[in-house]
Structure 1
Amino acid sequence: MNRTARALGSSGRGALRLTLYLLWTLLLIPLQALAVARNWRLCRTLPAFYHGACARLIGLDVVVRGQQADGPVLFVSNHSSYLDIIVLGSRIPGSFVAKSEVGSWPFFGLLARLQRTVFVERKARASVDKQRDDIGSRLDAGDSLILFPEGTSSDGNRTLPFKTALFAVAARRIDGRPLTVQPVSIAATRLDGIPMGFAFRPFYAWYGDMDLAPHLWQAFRLGGMTVEVEFHPPVTIDGFSSRKALAEHCHRVISDGVARAISGRPSVPAPAQEATSPAPAPTAASA
């Protein structure tokens, strides 16, 4: 069997990984449920430990670049797959912002609720203020949140336009300081050391009308995948004329990060925020 064939899948490997994933998940569900019910600090730290183990079980090699800002932070990321949840969840001690339908999904909806996901109705304009307040109250409590502002998943080769409505929370001030917003780019780059390219990337990306179960089974069968995550310099709304300008900045920085990762070009520091008035420089920068 050649290298490409090995990378593309083994049913035995898939069955073993799936079994271990289910056992690991079922083992931790009661503990996380109790931690959430009692509001223990564990409910905020256990998910990162859980996702880290899941990434190793599934064969995801997560390569991280840049410096992660201290919370509370609104992390803004591109989105191409349910695997992004495992990758980012293993590195960021926070909760996700997800569309409301996710909460009703079998099994995965339960996992989302146990991670204290903030569910939003993206199509209801009348609920924007409520969603902003729900997100803001979690940030006020010291939690970091992870937002996918594309509103859907992409093919992983590009970053879709960002929806600006949820950037309204960026105007919130935490203890008198503007909320920290950190762009994060994520890209699947290699499959068993082979550059993924357009041909292989759909094995990671889940988008359009793809069926979940076959895609998930294929992901468990695959060889090891390298996923690159880059934390870009954090910014605040104070450096921009509007939330739209902030969203455009995040989109540009993330798009550039994804393009560099999938092309294999070395990472370079992202441009500084385009301030409309003098503002302090960001306190953290890419490594």
Structure 2
Amino acid sequence: MATARAAILLAGFISSAILLMPLQWLGLKFGLSYASTLPNRYHRFLCRMIGIRVTRRGVPHQGSACLIAANHTSWLDIPVIASLEPCSFVAKSEVAGWPFFGTLARLQRTVFVERERRTRTVHSRNEIHARIAAGDRLVLFPEGTSSDGNRVLTFKSALMSVAQLTIVNGDEDREADLVVQPMSVTYVRLHGLPMGRYFRPFFAWYGDMELFPHLWEAFSLGPIEVVVEYHKPVTIREIGNRKALAAYCESCCREGQTRALTGRLAEPAADGAALAAAEGAVRRLAGAGG
């Protein structure tokens, strides 16, 4: 049954994507309005087909330009996050060359960055800023890689420097701070039961795991539940600097993941500790003269 389920879902995933690829390409080429919302509808369909139930906590920031900073566990993060609202992603440049998935990423207007080349950081930052200024909602994975789903890795601050740039508010013709909103993504249940450390690696994609075998395993195991939490949005002016901003987002995601893994979903978001972590980072930098 597991093999049959995996085969059916994999065939459904590939065939549905192939059918929609030309439509999305035409929408992007001719600037048609549906091109920004079609990926969102497709990812909602994909989550239903695979059997992913997404529980959303918190409220996405609205009303001004916003960058989402999320922890990264799996390729499944893409359909999970994109099913909630129209958005695009920031990904490492290698993804652009992946067969099939690279095409999907380009059709969702992914921003590709060369993380290993510091000389390209300013170029990547400016590209991200231009996209956000144009009204796009971008999702950044500041860990720079994916984790095993049981912990949040250290958030890198390089691309957080985009928050130092202001955005022109077209309605009021004035400059406004770019808002950064942390988002935690946690894989919590399999067939209605706590997923645990044994099963989570079947859905977490990290290390040297091959993508297609991992796809097969994930599709074969059955319905899963994911908790996505939107945390308190902030600006770099409120936090102090990009390193403190990265520390705040990391702490928010770590707290959100801990709440989801321990089942304490009824608690209100406790982002005060995350703010304290950011303030601590500012003090450490000041003490070091940085």
1:116-160: per-residue Cα shift (whole Å, max 9, x none)?
000000011111111111101101101110000000000000000
Name the structure 2 match of 1:198.
197
Deviation at 1:72, TM superposition (A): 2.8
Partners of 1:231 and 1:271 lie apart in 2 by 11
Matched, 1:137 2:130: yes
Name the structure 1 match of 2:270.
270
Partners of 1:40 and 1:90 lie apart in 2 by 20
SS at the partner of 2:188? strand
Name the structure 2 match of 1:41.
33
Name the structure 2 match of 1:15.
7
- Conserved? CA contact 2:167–2:178, under 8 Å: yes
Deviation at 1:24, TM superposition (A): 1.3
Deviation at 1:270, TM superposition (A): 2.7
Partners of 1:119 and 1:163 lie apart in 2 by 16
Deviation at 1:221, TM superposition (A): 1.0
- Conserved? CA contact 1:233–1:270, under 8 Å: no
1:39-67: per-residue Cα shift (whole Å, max 9, x none)?
22221111110111011111111111110
Matched, 1:88 2:87: no
The one-letter code sitting in structure 2 at the alignment partner of 1:144 is R
SS at the partner of 1:14? helix
SS at the partner of 2:24? helix
Partners of 2:260 and 2:214 lie apart in 1 by 23
Deviation at 1:22, TM superposition (A): 1.8
After superposition, where does 1:1-287 map in structure 2 within 5 Å?
10-70=2-62, 72-175=65-168, 176-266=175-265, 267-272=267-272, 273=275
Q: Give 5+ residue unaligned stretches, structure 2.
A: 169-174, 280-290
The one-letter code sitting in structure 2 at the alignment partner of 1:63 is T
Deviation at 1:223, TM superposition (A): 1.2
Partners of 1:152 and 1:84 lie apart in 2 by 12
Q: How many residues align?
A: 268
Partners of 1:49 and 1:72 lie apart in 2 by 22
1:176-218: per-residue Cα shift (whole Å, max 9, x none)?
1101111000010000011011111111101111121211001
Q: Give 5+ residue unaligned stretches, structure 1.
A: 1-8, 277-287
Deviation at 1:27, TM superposition (A): 1.4
Deviation at 1:219, TM superposition (A): 1.0
Partners of 2:165 and 2:119 lie apart in 1 by 20
RMSD, aligned α-carbons: 1.4
The one-letter code sitting in structure 1 at the alignment partner of 2:262 is S
- Conserved? CA contact 2:231–2:271, under 8 Å: no
Deviation at 1:73, TM superposition (A): 1.4
Partners of 2:97 and 2:201 lie apart in 1 by 25
The one-letter code sitting in structure 1 at the alignment partner of 2:153 is L
Q: Percent identical across equivalent pairs? A: 50
Partners of 1:44 and 1:223 lie apart in 2 by 30
1:75-98: per-residue Cα shift (whole Å, max 9, x none)?
000001000011001113111000
- Conserved? CA contact 1:18–1:220, under 8 Å: yes
The one-letter code sitting in structure 2 at the alignment partner of 1:268 is P
